[in-house]
């Protein structure tokens, strides 16, 4: 290693809950087996390039609070090269096996489509070498179709066809990069795919364009040899007032309408779930029930202000609910847990980035242990399943099989008489969870 970007920080090890070393794992023990898989296999944790290496802590009210040694003023390519070294040093020290990037995180945009492509190719070659040396892999790649001014009215849904063409050029290059780096998934997050004013927007046309664009991306990717999963990441708003990929339910409907459901799944972000007035677990369950749960952006939103604050996930209760859904769904397959999270603007120490990732990994590791116990020992899911026992009886089964008519229901209602009330046992379930923590 030429330069050490995180000096004084040794590789982070598992030391157990008793340790008072804040630079150690208390619960995440990568080789520990829970529910038939190691923790490493359950989570497939990933570092988000943009938040960890590009975000200096600026906000609409002030400039950044962090100065990164890999940012070389006036030399974006040199910065990109150093940033890549810092990224791999960080992941190696953290024991994080995957990463995710936008094309523009990895390499700067050039003055033309060609130059942008060349910049990206150059950085992809270097990243491929670092992957080979370290064994770290790409969980997903994506194209940043929201920062450049040309995308102010959307990318694939832009009313100007020439912008759609630029989006196409960028997605083609980002898919090529993802393939070259052996990426398991390719993500579409439509931050500006939506509208702010209905009276100047042809919503039907824009949605049709988005469907067509994603079909083209899929066809290109498959023909170029991409065997991974395409993912759509729902979010209801921010930056756009009305985003088309509002929530899991909206995206599932969209995928089916445009014939994309065989190649696409969903990337569920916790903060986007709460922005849509859902819980993280609700969105995971909705995707899993549709057979379309692909991957997770692990973070936490401040519900008090209703923004996309992308906090590191340290809410154990929220993580336990998520892990129950995930264990029942059988895991994420080739997806993973990407920390789409940033340290707070006032967390300015070099070690804060490590502590934040440790906190996130430990939160989910602990949640996994608790969720597994809740399912296998406390049999917490029996409370749910038992509420539906009447559908195991012959008439209930006939109803589910579509063998009954509305008239049959009336006759059965008369035969059965007034139903006995059944408790939902919410407080009991909640206290069982608290007792397991």
404 Cβ contact partners less than 8 Å away, ≥ 6 residues apart: 395, 398, 412
Task: Quote the CA–CA distance of 25 and 11 in Å, as a whole number.
Answer: 11
Pick 5 or 50: Cβ nearer Ca ion: 50
Task: Quote the CA–CA distance of 135 and 323 in Å, as a whole number.
Answer: 27
The label of the residue with tokens 């209905």 reads 198
53 Cβ contact partners less than 8 Å away, ≥ 6 residues apart: 68, 70, 83, 86, 87, 90, 105
Q: In the bound complex, what is the minimum distance in angstroms from residue 336's beta carbon to ligand XLS? A: 13
The binder of 357, among Ca ion, ligand XLS, none, by C-beta within 5 to 8 A per type, is none
| Position among 55, 142, 185, 363 found at the interface with ligand XLS (CB under 6 A) | 142
Pick 157 or 271: Cβ nearer Ca ion: 271
Q: Which one of the listed residues 29, 82, 103, 105 is annotated catalytic?
A: 105
User: Taking the mean position of all CA atoms in its chain, how far away is CA 121?
Assistant: 25
| Position among 44, 235, 278, 282 found at the interface with ligand XLS (CB under 6 A) | 235
Q: Which residues bind Ca ion (CB under 5 A)?
A: 269, 271, 297, 308, 310, 340
- At 267, give phi and psi (nearest 5°): -105, 110
Task: Quote the CA–CA distance of 157 and 164 in Å, as a whole number.
Answer: 7
340 counts as binding ligand XLS under rule CB under 6 A: yes
Q: Which stretch binds ligand XLS (CB under 6 A): 66-74, 183-191, 321-329, 384-392?
A: 183-191
Pick 34 or 185: Cβ nearer ligand XLS: 185
The binder of 142, among Ca ion, ligand XLS, none, by C-beta within 5 to 8 A per type, is ligand XLS
Whether residue 311 contacts residue 298, with contact meaning beta carbons closer than 8 Å, is answered with no
Task: Quote the CA–CA distance of 181 and 299 in Å, as a whole number.
Answer: 25
Q: In the bound complex, what is the minimum distance in angstroms from residue 132's beta carbon to ligand XLS? A: 26
Task: Quote the CA–CA distance of 167 and 144 in Å, as a whole number.
Answer: 9
193 counts as binding ligand XLS under rule CB under 6 A: no
Residue 214, helix vs strand vs coil: helix
Cα dihedral across residues 62, 68, 72, 77: positive or negative: negative
Residue 119 region by backbone torsions, left for phi larger than 0, else alpha for psi between -120 and 50, else beta: alpha
Whether residue 395 contacts residue 412, with contact meaning beta carbons closer than 8 Å, is answered with yes
Task: Quote the CA–CA distance of 30 and 40 in Å, as a whole number.
Answer: 5
User: Taking the mean position of all CA atoms in its chain, how far away is CA 340?
Assistant: 7
Pick 26 or 235: Cβ nearer Ca ion: 235
Q: Which one of the listed residues 42, 51, 71, 102 is annotated catalytic?
A: 102
240 counts as binding ligand XLS under rule CB under 6 A: no
Residue 59, helix vs strand vs coil: strand
To which H or E segment does residue 364 belong?
helix 350-376
Size of the site for ligand XLS (CB under 6 A): 11
Q: Which two tokens stand for residue 211?
A: 């469907």
Q: Is 51 a catalytic residue?
A: no
Q: In the bound complex, what is the minimum distance in angstroms from residue 274's beta carbon to Ca ion? A: 10
Whether residue 259 contacts residue 215, with contact meaning beta carbons closer than 8 Å, is answered with yes
Whether residue 94 contacts residue 354, with contact meaning beta carbons closer than 8 Å, is answered with yes
Q: In the bound complex, what is the minimum distance in angstroms from residue 128's beta carbon to Ca ion? A: 24
103 counts as binding ligand XLS under rule CB under 6 A: no
Q: In the bound complex, what is the minimum distance in angstroms from residue 278's beta carbon to ligand XLS? A: 16
Q: In the bound complex, what is the minimum distance in angstroms from residue 300's beta carbon to Ca ion? A: 10
Q: In the bound complex, what is the minimum distance in angstroms from residue 433's beta carbon to ligand XLS? A: 28
| Position among 82, 206, 247, 297 found at the interface with ligand XLS (CB under 6 A) | 297
Task: Quote the CA–CA distance of 233 and 188 in Å, as a whole number.
Answer: 6
Q: In the bound complex, what is the minimum distance in angstroms from residue 105's beta carbon to Ca ion? A: 13
The binder of 283, among ligand XLS, Ca ion, none, by C-beta within 5 to 8 A per type, is none
189 counts as binding ligand XLS under rule CB under 6 A: yes
Pick 49 or 258: Cβ nearer ligand XLS: 49
Q: Is 102 a catalytic residue?
A: yes
Pick 235 or 285: Cβ nearer ligand XLS: 235
| Position among 82, 117, 206, 269 found at the interface with ligand XLS (CB under 6 A) | 269
Task: Quote the CA–CA distance of 17 and 37 in Å, as a whole number.
Answer: 21
Pick 97 or 234: Cβ nearer ligand XLS: 234
Known catalytic residues? 102, 105
The residue ranges that bind ligand XLS (CB under 6 A) are: 102, 142, 187, 189, 191, 233, 235, 269, 297, 308, 340
């Amino acid at each position: 290693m030429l330069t050490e970007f995180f000096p004084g920080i040794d590789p982070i090890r598992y030391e157990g809950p008793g340790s008072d070393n804040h630079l150690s794992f208390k619960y995440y023990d990568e080789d520990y087996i829970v529910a038939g898989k190691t923790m490493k296999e359950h989570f497939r944790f990933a570092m988000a390039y943009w938040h960890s290496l590009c975000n200096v802590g600026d906000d609409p009210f002030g400039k950044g609070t962090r100065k990164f040694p890999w940012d070389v003023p006036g030399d974006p390519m040199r910065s990109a090269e150093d940033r890549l070294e810092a990224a791999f040093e960080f992941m190696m020290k953290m024991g994080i096996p995957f990463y995710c990037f936008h094309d523009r995180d990895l390499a700067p945009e050039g003055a033309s489509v060609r130059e942008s492509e060349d910049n990206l190719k150059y950085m992809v070659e270097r990243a491929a070498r670092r992957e080979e040396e370290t064994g770290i892999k790409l969980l997903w790649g994506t194209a940043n179709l929201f920062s450049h001014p040309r995308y102010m009215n959307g990318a694939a849904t832009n009313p100007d066809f020439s912008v759609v063409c630029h989006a196409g050029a960028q997605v083609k290059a980002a898919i090529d990069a993802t393939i070259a780096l052996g990426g398991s998934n390719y993500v579409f997050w439509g931050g500006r795919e939506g509208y702010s004013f209905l009276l100047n927007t042809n919503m039907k046309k824009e949605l049709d364009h988005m469907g067509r664009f994603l079909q083209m991306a899929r066809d290109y990717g498959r023909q170029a040899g991409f065997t991974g999963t395409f993912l759509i990441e729902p979010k209801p708003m921010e930056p756009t007032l009305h985003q088309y990929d509002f929530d899991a339910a909206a995206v599932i409907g969209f995928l089916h309408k445009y014939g994309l459901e065989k190649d696409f799944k969903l990337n569920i972000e916790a903060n986007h779930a709460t922005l849509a007035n859902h819980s993280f677990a609700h969105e995971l369950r909705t995707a899993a029930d549709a057979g379309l749960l692909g991957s997770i952006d692990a973070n936490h939103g401040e519900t008090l202000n209703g923004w996309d604050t992308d906090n590191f996930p340290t809410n154990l209760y929220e993580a336990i609910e998520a892990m129950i859904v995930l264990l029942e769904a059988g895991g994420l397959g080739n997806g993973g847990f990407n920390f789409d999270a940033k340290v707070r603007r006032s967390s300015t120490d070099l070690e804060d980035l490590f502590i934040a990732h440790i906190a996130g990994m430990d939160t989910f590791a602990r949640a996994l242990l608790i969720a597994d116990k809740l399912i296998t020992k406390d049999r917490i899911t029996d409370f749910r399943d038992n509420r539906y026992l009447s559908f195991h009886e012959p008439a209930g089964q006939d109803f589910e099989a579509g063998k009954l008519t509305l008239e049959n229901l009336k006759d059965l209602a008369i035969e059965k008489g007034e139903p006995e009330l059944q408790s939902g046992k919410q407080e009991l379930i909640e206290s069982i969870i608290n007792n397991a923590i």
